[in-house]
Structure 1
Amino acid sequence: MLHRGPGWIAALDRTLMRTVSGFPGGHHDTFFRRLSASANKGKLWFGVAAVAAAIPGRTRRAALHGLLAQGVASAVTNLVFKTLLPRARPLPEHLPVFRFVHPQPTSSSMPSGHSASAVAFALGTGMVQPVLGAVVAPVAAGVAYSRVHTGAHWPSDVLFGSAIGAGAALVTRKWWPVRPPMPPTSRRRVQEAPLPQGEGLSIAVNTLGGSFTEETAAALKEVFPLAHITLIALEDDVAQRVEEAATRPGTRALGVWGGDGTVGTAAAAAIDHDLPLLVLAGGTLNHFARDAGTPSVVEAVAAAERGEAALADVGVVAVERGLADDPEQVELTMLNTASIGLYPNLVRRREQLQPALGKPLAGVVAMFRTFAVEKPITLIVNGVRHRLWIMYLGRGRYFPRDHAPLFRPVLDDGVLDVRMMTADESFARLRMLWSVLTGTVATSRITHLTEATRVRVECGTAPMVLAVDGEAMPGVRAVEFTLKSAALRYYSPADGN
């Protein structure tokens, strides 16, 4: 026999039900009946999530978290509490016949699954994207109330179901952690020689850059008519041509147009010859130009003409290649990032998917594809052996603090941002895929986020592939990363972000 609940709860339920029963009839009865039906089996929330998922960024993440919380709340309600707490639903005499839902559900009245799902979805989305949560909250409240208005549940069923939904959202919040806010952009300012019309500026232009055209050199000459421009052709040695530009008589500043690899080469030359560096966004990728506040020629020209500059740390990458008893020593300058393991493959897949899916979703899909088919590598990091999916090092703290670092607001913070995703733990592949699915890479046990000023990595079973600022180097036996504090002076507009 289904019980009705404790006496005082049953009495309160009947009192509240009589109050609802006394409301006059009208179009609102049809509205609440249809609203309640739309939430059957979570259809309403799947529809809202599908619309929200079309908007990249936090809105998409909010929709995914809302569905995750809703799924947990629904499972706990229907599989656990409805079995443990059998209770009869309201009878037709408790409400006007035109308002009473037909047919009435046959499962236990306690607790309300509709209410649990509604509150879980609304609170789950609101934790990630408050604006979306504020929009969904009145709809969720309407669904919860509709279960009483139509006689499907007692008020206490709705209250208990809502509490389960809120608990599901809070529990899954730990699975889907809130990203810490990115700190404001900060630069350590210095004053350099102004370069009116490019006077004293020597620019090295890599013609192999992905965005180079025949008009590029002419456009640079137009904005810097007094500058000397050195074109780097296919058959040229990039480092040698950059060196020629840096040592040209009368040079007071070195400019560079090209991708991250070319900019790194120019930065090394600028430091060697005590020259400030003017980074002109070009090439396939140019992350340093973006971080330096010169994402286009407009900002670069403004900073150069006023002599506005700042200081940046640089990474020093000491590479050992070749045979163990006769290694080849190579030293590289790192302005942005380095990676070992599967990260280059992940980036390649992400860039292929990005035009169609957007960067956040493309990153998730690329992670799934990469970790589903490839194997971890063995490395010795600062003397400790690890099986690793990815090892990533950033010259400076990058944000967000997960598997897809994008922005670096400070260029002279004096640290290496070290991120390792290990396969040392049991069920490592499943843990990795689950953390990607739930957005919990940053808090997963397989993810290790640290900061350092020196990191040494040695190959375990086979030579590794090292990528520094996008340039891959195979056959590496060992590599050591260190820092030169505030070693690079670069032009950056004082009012740039």
Structure 2
Amino acid sequence: MLPRRRARRAKVAIRSGIRHSRRSLRPVGALDRRITEAVGDLPPNRGDAALLHLTRSANHSWLWFAAASLLAGLGTRRTRRGAVRGIFGIALASFAANAVAKPLVPRRRPAADLLPPYRSLPERPTSSSFPSGHSASAFAFAVGVGLEGPRAGALLAPLAATVAYSRIHVGVHWTSDVAVGSALGAGAALLTQRWLPRRPSDEAIARPWLDAPALVDGEGLSMMVNMGSGRPGVDPAEEIAAALPKARVVRLEEGDDLLDKLVETASLPGTRALGIAGGDGSVAAAARVAEDMGLPLAVMPAGTLNHFGRDVGVYDLQEVVDATGAGEAVAVDVGELRAYTTSLGPEGGARQVFVNTASFGGYPDMVRLREKWEKRWGKWPAASAALVAVLWTARPVRCRIDGRETSVWMLFVGNGPYAPSGMTPAYRPRLDTGLLEVRYLRADRRFSRARAIGGLLAGTLGHIRTYVEHTAETLDVELLDGPLQVATDGEVMVAGDRLTFSVAEVKVPVYRRDESRWPERTPAW
């Protein structure tokens, strides 16, 4: 009998709370009705038809998808990131408004006779009036874009506000529905930062290198160009030769050995700096040669992803021209990996340099899937989906990490600390810490696979017990089930059952222009 009494008391309390809430919200309802009647009394004008068309264009967020396509097509980093964040915000806001709030808070829409027929929306929705899903999507997109590009967000804000008002003007929402929907959308946009962290600046912090030679028009620069990189139909070597007329440009053709060609390029008479035009794998090889020969490095990003170029802050050829001409450079860490088979000893191992990351287990597979999907979905949604897909089928790797035996799903080593916390590292705040970042998912705890996937989807992966993250000067890993392939900078390079990671003692100077001296070229969006 006791449980039944408690259930009856709970029902009475809930009903009492609902009645109390309704009484307290009556002033809001009265204000809503007065505003709707005032809108209905407005004289006819040309804006009536325009608002009808606008509110229809926002059905199913088609207006915002079109705006996202336009922003992505503008070709700037910030607008592309803003488009991705805006669409993600719409997804969160639509779920919260339509799948959660509307079923929980049923509310009748304004009566059709409160507005004149020529202003009313003919196809009136039948779902709950509270909150306004159109308003939620509008402000989720505008605020999401504004988080990446304030100017673009400022231009979209009046359009979002007009869409929100149009729901009142055509008589399908009360004012409070629109206000709550707008706040819900803005909150959803801010929440996207849990999964899609905002980068505080377009380049990582690094100490200036004061001894880099100024190479006006490329004089003293020997640049090797990976002809397999770059945009289809464009010869990167010709572009570089035109922009740096005094530089010596060497082409890496199909079949050439990358390291041999880099050494040949760096050994040309009069070479004062080594240049590389290619992807992250080519940049890592060039960093190794530059380190060995004591030369500064000029990087022209020409690969598919160019993570290193983005972290350094070099995005195009003009920045290379500016930095080399002015002799502006920063000191950058270089990671190194020594992989060998235990039976042969360290002498039989290979030294591999990496400028971004090294990994084994499911992580290389995750990188490949992310690269395959990110052109369609964007980087961070693709990274999350790829991680879930890999975790679903991954096999544990037994290993001994710094003398402690464990099993892992995947292990990631970064050349410097990455942000944000979690298994989808995005960028490096600094390039000269002298530290490695170690991240891995443990596979030796109960339900570790399910916990990892759940933490990823909830945006709390960095806080679950099966996830480990720390920095170190060195890392020693012994693979207990035999050699595994290790990927460095996104490419499978070496294999071994004993892996030693560290940061090279000598930093490499990399040309990067001082943005404080080039304010007119800072992206406006």
Which of 134, 139, 151 is the aligned partner of 2:154? 134
Whether contact under 8 Å (1:337, 1:392) holds in the other structure is yes
Aligned-partner Cα distance in 2 for 1:90–1:301: 61
Q: Give, as a single letter, the amino acid of the residue that structure 2 aligns with 1:30.
A: A
Whether contact under 8 Å (1:39, 1:45) holds in the other structure is yes
Which of 251, 257, 263 is the aligned partner of 2:286? 263
Q: What is the 5 A alignment of 1:119-130?
A: 119-130=139-150
Whether contact under 8 Å (2:299, 2:511) holds in the other structure is no
User: Is residue 31 of structure 1 aligned with residue 50 of structure 2?
Assistant: yes
Alpha carbons of structure 1 residues 176 and 79: separation in structure 2 relative to 1, 3 Å = farther
CA positional deviation for 1:458 = 2.1
Aligned-partner Cα distance in 2 for 1:31–1:394: 53
Aligned-partner Cα distance in 2 for 1:196–1:15: 71
- Residue 498 of structure 2: SS of its match in structure 1? strand
CA positional deviation for 1:377 = 3.2
1:80 corresponds in structure 2 to: 104
2:500 corresponds in structure 1 to: 480
Q: Give, as a single letter, the amino acid of the residue that structure 2 aligns with 1:337.
A: T
CA positional deviation for 1:477 = 1.6
Whether contact under 8 Å (1:393, 1:419) holds in the other structure is yes
Which of 401, 406, 412 is the aligned partner of 1:381? 401
Whether contact under 8 Å (1:280, 1:294) holds in the other structure is no
Q: After alignment, is 409-418 or 457-466 more displaced?
A: 409-418
CA positional deviation for 1:148 = 3.0
Alpha carbons of structure 1 residues 301 and 13: separation in structure 2 relative to 1, 3 Å = closer
Q: Give, as a single letter, the amino acid of the residue that structure 2 aligns with 1:269.
A: D
Alpha carbons of structure 1 residues 40 and 322: separation in structure 2 relative to 1, 3 Å = same
Whether contact under 8 Å (1:69, 1:121) holds in the other structure is no
1:428 corresponds in structure 2 to: 449
Aligned-partner Cα distance in 1 for 2:68–2:227: 41
User: Is residue 14 of structure 1 aligned with residue 38 of structure 2?
Assistant: no
Q: Give, as a single letter, the amino acid of the residue that structure 1 aligns with 2:116.
A: P
Aligned length in residues: 475
1:69 corresponds in structure 2 to: 93
**Highest CA radius of gyration, 1 or 2?**
1
Alpha carbons of structure 1 residues 411 and 47: separation in structure 2 relative to 1, 3 Å = closer
- Residue 176 of structure 2: SS of its match in structure 1? helix
Alpha carbons of structure 1 residues 22 and 414: separation in structure 2 relative to 1, 3 Å = same
Deviation per residue, 1:261-319 (Å, 9 max, x gap): 5435424533xxxx44556769979977884979879959985x998776444434343
1:58 corresponds in structure 2 to: 82
User: Is residue 147 of structure 1 aligned with residue 171 of structure 2?
Assistant: no
Alpha carbons of structure 1 residues 223 and 37: separation in structure 2 relative to 1, 3 Å = closer
Provide structure 2 residue ranges, at least 5 long, that are not aligned to the other structure.
1-18, 74-78, 519-525
Aligned-partner Cα distance in 1 for 2:296–2:501: 22
- Residue 24 of structure 1: SS of its match in structure 2? coil
- Residue 64 of structure 1: SS of its match in structure 2? helix
CA positional deviation for 1:81 = 1.2
Aligned-partner Cα distance in 1 for 2:366–2:103: 39
CA positional deviation for 1:463 = 2.2
Aligned-partner Cα distance in 2 for 1:38–1:244: 57
1:413 corresponds in structure 2 to: 433
Aligned-partner Cα distance in 1 for 2:161–2:406: 50
**TM-score w.r.t. length of structure 1:** 0.69
Deviation per residue, 1:380-427 (Å, 9 max, x gap): 333455554543323234567776767667543222233435556747
Whether contact under 8 Å (1:314, 1:335) holds in the other structure is yes
Alpha carbons of structure 1 residues 428 and 320: separation in structure 2 relative to 1, 3 Å = same
Aligned-partner Cα distance in 2 for 1:187–1:475: 34
2:3 corresponds in structure 1 to: none
CA positional deviation for 1:59 = 2.0
User: Is residue 451 of structure 1 aligned with residue 474 of structure 2?
Assistant: no
CA positional deviation for 1:166 = 4.4
Whether contact under 8 Å (1:232, 1:238) holds in the other structure is no
Whether contact under 8 Å (2:221, 2:247) holds in the other structure is no
Q: Give, as a single letter, the amino acid of the residue that structure 1 aligns with 2:28.
A: I
Q: What is the 5 A alignment of 1:319-358?
A: 319-323=339-343, 328-348=348-368
Q: Give, as a single letter, the amino acid of the residue that structure 1 aligns with 2:86.
A: A
Aligned-partner Cα distance in 1 for 2:114–2:407: 65
Aligned-partner Cα distance in 1 for 2:394–2:347: 29
Q: Give, as a single letter, the amino acid of the residue that structure 2 aligns with 1:139.
A: L
Q: Give, as a single letter, the amino acid of the residue that structure 2 aligns with 1:32.
A: L
CA positional deviation for 1:149 = 2.7
Alpha carbons of structure 1 residues 390 and 253: separation in structure 2 relative to 1, 3 Å = farther
Whether contact under 8 Å (1:261, 1:471) holds in the other structure is no
Whether contact under 8 Å (1:211, 1:284) holds in the other structure is yes
Whether contact under 8 Å (1:466, 1:473) holds in the other structure is yes
Aligned-partner Cα distance in 2 for 1:19–1:197: 68
1:191 corresponds in structure 2 to: 211
Q: Give, as a single letter, the amino acid of the residue that structure 1 aligns with 2:102.
A: N
Aligned-partner Cα distance in 1 for 2:258–2:113: 90
Whether contact under 8 Å (2:217, 2:321) holds in the other structure is no
Whether contact under 8 Å (1:45, 1:121) holds in the other structure is yes
Aligned-partner Cα distance in 1 for 2:119–2:473: 70
Whether contact under 8 Å (2:129, 2:172) holds in the other structure is yes
Q: Select the structure that is richer in strand.
A: 1
- Residue 189 of structure 1: SS of its match in structure 2? coil
Alpha carbons of structure 1 residues 124 and 474: separation in structure 2 relative to 1, 3 Å = closer
Alpha carbons of structure 1 residues 43 and 5: separation in structure 2 relative to 1, 3 Å = farther
Alpha carbons of structure 1 residues 265 and 59: separation in structure 2 relative to 1, 3 Å = same
User: Is residue 94 of structure 1 aligned with residue 117 of structure 2?
Assistant: no
Aligned-partner Cα distance in 2 for 1:163–1:244: 58
Aligned-CA RMSD value? 5.5
Q: Give, as a single letter, the amino acid of the residue that structure 1 aligns with 2:91.
A: L
Aligned-partner Cα distance in 2 for 1:113–1:295: 41
Deviation per residue, 1:172-229 (Å, 9 max, x gap): 5544443444555533424378999999x99898x9985799x99xx8xx9579x9x9
Aligned-partner Cα distance in 2 for 1:121–1:282: 31
- Residue 191 of structure 1: SS of its match in structure 2? coil
Alpha carbons of structure 1 residues 69 and 269: separation in structure 2 relative to 1, 3 Å = same
Q: What is the identity percentage for the equivalent residue pairs of Structure 1 and Structure 2?
A: 31
- Residue 456 of structure 1: SS of its match in structure 2? strand
Alpha carbons of structure 1 residues 136 and 24: separation in structure 2 relative to 1, 3 Å = same
Aligned-partner Cα distance in 1 for 2:406–2:123: 60
Aligned-partner Cα distance in 2 for 1:452–1:142: 53
Q: What is the 5 A alignment of 1:147-226?
A: 147-171=167-191, 173-182=193-202, 185-191=205-211, 210=228, 223=246
